[in-house]
């Protein structure tokens, strides 16, 4: 079977096409080789991406060594940490759709034969995967790797726990100006994705679990020689996949998606995966309803105590054996299937070595009997809501409190910083969903401030927005339907009693059905926050968070 690229380089009618290709500097001797697209999200403004120029070189070497010819093209990236807490975060989740569109567009317009995705951060990895699955040409993903932990006076530091939460500690008078300045300089020592099981690293781990990255790619540190070798082998491997016609839709199946959920639950990963995995499945022509997460959570133990709720950093997980070692532990819960590496899931698991028993615990010594994520339902969230239960302490798994309601993240954050949130409160932040935000902003600033002030043991937060992978405590997001669609969260008033029961998977407003109906019947849709530009178009077309917030 011929390669796709013959459409742009074979036959007399392609004389002008060949002329343009030769203008790029490609030697004539390389024209018959497979053309490999390398989508790179290098940028100077995201720590997880600043080291990609080095990895690009090794991917390029690998493609040449494998017998292909690489063509690089750029994809934009947003740093969720820098975009956090202001209007910039409205663009983060929507950027996933733009990235998918860009990958699809470049690959289809130029008829390239294979694809390497060089990615790392939160929305970029799922966006690239979605684009690759639409195009369905042989693909390998290279995630650029996690950051080393920071260090200050003998203790290790991470971005979320030691900067975002430090804001709350500062406001509470627990730390001063000198320590704040030291934390700013030391928490993030260099290149790489943030050090805990936040969204970027969670998605890297799940990409490997699905089988789209080579073994150990997810946890190999950004600054390591191991990461360079993986980048080289990924470049070489994609040419082999082109020759064997192994496409992403042969790797990304319902079986591999369920494997990803199991690994996610065992690691206590970010709640954002409940948006990204269904969207990736949709791009592959599959349906992955929320019920999959809860069904698997009830039988998947939480075996890795990762930041932000736990003790361990990504570097610890890598030293313990990485995702292959995690899959070794979980083998009895996984499906066997092919991966982009050429090995099956079970072959990878069988070859793995678990070198740190406490980092990747045996199933019978798990931190929790259930997985990291729970799906809650009730009269506030009839279509579902999401909580990272592995980051909630035992005494907050059931909670009842009075609502304090805010119609934006800024209003909620202002109340927190002014000390208006007290023990026993349930902070409600609404009109921040996919349509209402628009863009479904992450709420790391308010959740981290609550934790930093020492209130995470006595205050809950619910929102139709979403949370960073760095969030910990009783924080319930993705409440669906969202307020902008007239969902029940729009009916909550200050002083209402809200009950949360995570083990029972319940979240309810203690209000008679008749009163709820009365309030909702009087609800009027507010004017959109954004009425022009890309976000306005996104708000009109995006689906519910319960469906993965995909563009319809």
Cite the active site residues.
468
Distances (CA, A) of 380 to 248, 482, 517: 38, 10, 12
Asked whether the beta carbons of 144 and 227 are under 8 A apart, the reply is yes
Rounded Cα distance between 133 and 288, Å, is 15
Q: Cβ(461)–Cβ(476) under 8 Å?
A: yes
CA–CA distance, 352 with 372 (Å, rounded to integer):
23
Distance CA 171, CA 446 (A): 13
d(CA 140, CA 106): 17
d(CA 257, CA 263): 10
Q: Are 341 and 211 in contact (CB under 8 A)?
A: yes
DSSP class of residue 528 equals: P
CA distances from 328 to 212, 264, 274, 311, 324 (A): 18, 14, 24, 22, 6
* Tokens coding 91: 């663009």
Question: What is the three-class DSSP state of 479?
Answer: strand
* Three-state DSSP class for residue 111: coil
Classify residue 295 as exposed, middle or buried by CB count within 10 Å of its CB (0-12, 13-18, 19+): middle
């Amino acid at each position: 079977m011929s390669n796709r690229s013959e459409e742009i380089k074979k036959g007399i009618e392609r004389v002008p096409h060949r002329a343009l290709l030769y203008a790029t500097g490609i030697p004539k001797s390389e024209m018959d080789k497979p053309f490999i697209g390398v989508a790179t999200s290098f940028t100077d403004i995201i720590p997880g991406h600043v080291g990609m120029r080095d990895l690009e070189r090794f991917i390029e070497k690998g493609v040449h060594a494998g017998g292909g010819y690489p063509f690089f093209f750029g994809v934009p990236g947003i740093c969720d940490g820098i975009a956090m807490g202001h209007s910039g975060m409205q663009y983060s989740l929507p950027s996933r759709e733009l990235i998918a569109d860009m990958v699809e567009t470049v690959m289809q317009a130029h008829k390239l034969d294979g694809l390497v995705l060089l990615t790392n951060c939160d929305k970029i990895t799922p966006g690239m995967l979605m684009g690759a699955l639409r195009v369905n040409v042989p693909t390998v993903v290279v995630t650029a790797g996690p950051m080393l932990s920071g260090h200050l006076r003998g203790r290790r530091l991470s971005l979320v726990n030691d900067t975002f939460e430090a804001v709350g500690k500062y406001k509470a008078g627990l730390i001063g100006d000198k320590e704040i300045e030291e934390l700013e300089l030391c928490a993030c020592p260099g290149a790489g994705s943030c050090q805990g099981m936040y969204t970027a690293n969670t998605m890297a781990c799940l990409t490997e679990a699905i089988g789209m990255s080579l073994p150990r790619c997810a946890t190999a540190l950004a600054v390591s020689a191991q990461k360079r070798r993986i980048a080289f082998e990924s470049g070489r491997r994609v040419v082999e996949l082109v020759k064997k016609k192994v496409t992403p839709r042969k790797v990304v199946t319902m079986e591999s998606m369920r494997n990803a959920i199991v690994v996610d639950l065992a690691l206590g990963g970010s709640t954002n995966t409940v948006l990204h995995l269904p969207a990736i499945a949709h791009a592959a022509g599959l349906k992955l309803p929320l019920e999959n997460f809860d069904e698997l959570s009830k039988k998947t133990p939480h075996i890795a105590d990762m930041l932000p709720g736990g003790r361990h950093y990504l570097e610890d997980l890598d030293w313990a054996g990485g995702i292959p070692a995690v899959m070794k532990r979980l083998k009895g819960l996984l499906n066997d299937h092919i991966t982009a590496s050429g090995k099956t899931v079970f072959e990878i698991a069988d070859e793995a070595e678990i070198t740190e028993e406490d980092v990747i615990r045996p199933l019978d010594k798990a931190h929790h009997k259930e997985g990291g994520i729970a799906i809650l339902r009730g009269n506030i969230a009839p279509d579902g809501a999401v909580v990272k239960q592995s980051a909630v302490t035992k005494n907050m798994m059931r909670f009842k409190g009075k609502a304090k309601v805010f119609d934006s993240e800024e209003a909620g954050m202002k109340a927190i910083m002014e000390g208006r949130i007290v023990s026993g409160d349930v902070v409600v932040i609404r009109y921040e969903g996919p349509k209402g935000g628009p863009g479904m902003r992450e709420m790391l600033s308010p959740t981290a401030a609550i934790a930093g002030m020492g209130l995470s043991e006595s205050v809950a937060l619910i929102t139709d927005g979403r949370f960073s992978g760095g969030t910990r405590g009783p924080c319930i997001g993705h409440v669906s339907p969202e307020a902008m669609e007239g969902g029940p969260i729009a009916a909550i008033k200050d002083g209402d009693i809200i009950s949360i029961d995570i083990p029972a998977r319940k979240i309810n407003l203690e209000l008679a059905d008749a009163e709820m109906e009365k309030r909702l019947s009087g609800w009027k849709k507010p004017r959109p926050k954004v009425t022009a530009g890309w976000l306005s178009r996104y708000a009109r077309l995006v689906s519910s968070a319960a469906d993965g917030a995909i563009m319809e």
